[in-house]
């Protein structure tokens, strides 16, 4: 029976040390995990109610929220059964445009509703509340 005195060759051992050292250096210089995206923390909340022409809440209306400087909506949702909606937004000190998309929405009385739009300003850690009043 032959007993090896050395289990690792010096070349393999030094290569493993270099790899481990590079990994530790990378973790120190790059503190967040690899592959993790830089997500913005919510800064404020926009909430509101959708009102119909007869001043009743309207459920199931599609709501779109976008930044005032953008053209496409960042968030889309539907008003709940009480006509309410809410969304956490990420940019502090910014203006947002909240709009009601009435395309394809059937009002209880069968008439077609006009879309509505309102501008909301959200400051740091603020809860901005608004209302969308739809008309025929």
- Domains of the chain and any CATH numbers: 44-133 (2.60.40.10)
CA dihedral 21, 24, 29, 32 (to 10 degrees): 150
Is a pLDDT exceeding 90 seen at residue 27? no
**CA-to-CA distance for 52 and 100, rounded, in angstroms?**
11
Position 33 pLDDT exceeds 80: no
Q: What is the pLDDT of residues 47-77, one digit of tens each?
A: 999 999 989 999 999 999 999 999 999 999 9
Residue 117 has pLDDT above 80, yes or no: yes
φ/ψ of 23, rounded to 5, equals: -65, -45
């Amino acid at each position: 029976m032959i007993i090896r005195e050395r289990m690792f060759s010096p070349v393999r051992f030094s290569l493993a040390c270099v790899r481990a050292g590079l990994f530790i250096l990378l973790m120190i210089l790059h503190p967040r995990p690899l592959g993790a995206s830089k997500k913005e923390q919510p800064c404020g909340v926009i909430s509101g109610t959708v009102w119909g022409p007869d001043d009743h809440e309207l459920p199931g209306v599609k709501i779109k929220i976008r930044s005032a400087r953008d053209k496409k909506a960042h968030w889309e949702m539907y008003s709940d059964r009480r006509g309410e909606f809410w969304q956490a937004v990420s940019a502090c000190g910014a203006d947002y445009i909240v709009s009601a998309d009435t395309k394809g929405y059937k009002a209880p009385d069968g008439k077609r509703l006009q879309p509505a739009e309102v501008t909301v300003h959200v400051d740091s850690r603020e809860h901005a509340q608004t209302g969308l009043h739809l008309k025929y």
